[in-house]
Amino acid sequence: MPMTPGLVPRFVVRVLAWLPVAFAVWYFTAPVLLWPVKLVLDVVCRMGFGDLVRAVEQAGSVFTFATTLRPGGVGATGQVALEVDGLAYSYGLPLFVALVLAAREPGWPRKLGAGYAAMVPAIAWGVLADFLKTVAMSSGPLVASQTGFSALQREAIAFGYQFGALILPTVVPAVAWVLMHRGLLERLRAQA
């Protein structure tokens, strides 16, 4: 990136120019982009929530958690399945792509790959925390009581959900971008 006084404004203009393109690509390729998230969810659910989750399915950008929980109410049959939209936790991907492309630094394809790899676990966190929050707190006492979560565990789920919804989706791409563009930061400071 050229080191001129207009460095930051030009960078902003380029980010804003790339954002609509990145959002469009993200929206239409989300089923593919989110497939690794499904793999992470599979592993985590099998290892940590095997008694609660029977399977995780993906249809488009939506993940369906097939649970072992029975719906509340007299005479209710079947098992509870809950859906979480992966788009709600992955909108940091287009932001990261726009930031990397706007920086015009060498090695941008590698940076895109590394950033994507860093964001997949964060997206999985958000999706899983959303699911856990729903079963533990939003599905009513008849369903929530079957999960066996303690009060402390419900507090942890609530915090994890808020963190996964409000912080991770945008902070992870921003931090990943900063860590991958340390040279740019040093040049910025050197120009002061």
Partner 1 sequence: MIRFFLLFVAIQALLFGGELTPWAQTFFVLPWTTALARISTWLVALVDPNVVTAGKVIRSTTNGFAVSIEAGCNGVEATIVLLAAMLAFPASWQRRLAGLAAGIVAVQGLNIVRVISLFYIGQWNAQVFEWAHLYVWQALIMLDVLIVWLIWVRTLPPPDGGGGPVPPAVAAASA
Q: Give the DSSP letter of residue 132.
A: H
Check if the beta carbon of residue 95 is closer than 8 Å to that of residue 22: yes
Other CB atoms closer than 10 Å to residue 115's CB: what's the count? 23
Token pair of 143, please?
A: 């369903």
Report the C-alpha gap between 19 and 38 in whole angstroms: 25
List the interface residues with partner 1, window 148-167 (CB under 8 A).
158-159, 162-163, 165-167
Which helix (H) or strand (E) is 84 found in, with range? strand 81-85
Q: How far is the CB of 65 from partner 1 (least distance, A)?
A: 20
Closer CB to partner 1, residue 43 or residue 167?
167
- 190 lies in the site for partner 1, by CB under 8 A: yes
Q: How far is the CB of 88 from partner 1 (least distance, A)?
A: 6
For partner 1 (CB under 8 A), the number of binding residues is: 38
Q: Indicate the burial class of 73 (C-beta count within 10 angstroms; 0-12, 13-18, 19 or more).
A: exposed
- 29 lies in the site for partner 1, by CB under 8 A: no
- Give the binding site for partner 1 (CB under 8 A): 7-8, 11-12, 15, 19, 23, 87-88, 91-92, 94-95, 99, 158-159, 162-163, 165-167, 169-171, 173-175, 177-179, 182, 185-186, 188-192
